[in-house]
Amino acid sequence: MTTAGADSTQTQQIGALGYLLEPQPQREIILWRAAVFGATAFSIAGYAYSRMDDWWGHEYGPAHIKHDDWNGDNLAQTDEVSHMVFSYKITQAGTGLAKWTGFSDGVSRIIGVGISGFIMTWVEYPVDAHNPLQGFGYTDMTANIIGISLATARDIWPQHLQGLDLRFSIKPNSEVNDEFIAQTCNENDAFIYWLTYNPSDNFPVHPAIGYSANHNNDKRVAEREVYLGFGTSLAEIAGLIDPRWRSKLDFWSLYELSVAFRIE
């Protein structure tokens, strides 16, 4: 009776933490990998901090919410979609690196969510919230949460969601700066954001639907673009050589190699 009660209590404790901390086989943390992970994370964070003002502007005004957050930026919601895709990819990268270091699946998910949540929230508050030309974007934060949630759900239930992915590509002859952080409408319009679905691990080509925008009209008003495409990625190509490489290189499927057709 005592054993059964202890098991029940343990199950309730695990349930309270949710799927993020589901029981996993014991792993060993490899110190040199932990050092690489830490150095990489701190280096990227330091560089991002040093470039923050140039990327998103100065945070010197009172905190405020962005006016007309949904339409006011004249980007046809591509900004929200980019937040979703990149919060998804940062979560995926953090989780994958934590697993590679030797953390359990549950702890790795918490690390991935924590890294992505910190970075993407930092962009909105204090940076955008205190920028007189920006403001805290509640739609951007909602997109961040969706991206982080999708990456986490995909890691928890790979048998159901592994075929789905969020990626991006760059239009031919587009204006993209060296840091891939859009500063102008033309630079923002250079990206296509993809939702891909591959029903089979044995076939590297998949269908995809993409979203972007342009400002090619005389009034420079954002026009939506919807694409259909057939594509692949480095991870899927590598999986043809060794199926294990597909999962190990999962993060490197962030760029969609596709043949695309604009339908709108």
- What b/e readout covers 28-38, taking b as 16+ CB neighbours within 10 angstroms? eeeeeebeebe
Residues composing the chain: 264
pLDDT the model gives residue 117? 96
Do residues 49 and 159 make contact, with C-beta atoms less than 8 angstroms apart? Answer: no
Domain map (residue ranges) of the chain? 62-159, 162-264
Cα 71 to Cα 26, 145, 215: the distances in Å are: 48, 20, 14
pLDDT the model gives residue 52? 78
- Predicted confidence pLDDT, tens digits, the chain (264 residues): 444 454 444 444 444 444 444 555 567 899 999 999 999 989 988 888 888 777 777 767 888 898 888 888 899 999 999 999 999 999 999 999 999 999 999 999 999 999 999 999 999 998 888 888 888 999 999 999 999 999 999 999 998 998 999 999 999 988 888 777 888 889 999 999 999 999 887 888 999 999 999 999 999 999 999 999 999 998 899 888 888 888 888 888 899 999 999 997
51: β partners: none
Q: Look up tokens 């945070």; give the residue.
A: 59
Burial group, residue 65, by CB count within 10 angstroms (0-12, 13-18, 19+): exposed
Do residues 227 and 262 make contact, with C-beta atoms less than 8 angstroms apart? Answer: yes
**φ and ψ of 233, to 5 deg:** -150, 170
The C-alpha atoms of residue 216 and residue 258 are separated, in whole angstroms, by: 23
DSSP secondary structure of 202-220: T---EEEEEEEEE--STT-
The C-alpha atoms of residue 210 and residue 199 are separated, in whole angstroms, by: 18
Q: How many CB atoms lie within 10 A of CB 8?
A: 10
Radius of gyration of the chain (CA): 20
Helices (H), 57-169: 78-101, 105-122, 138-156, 158-161
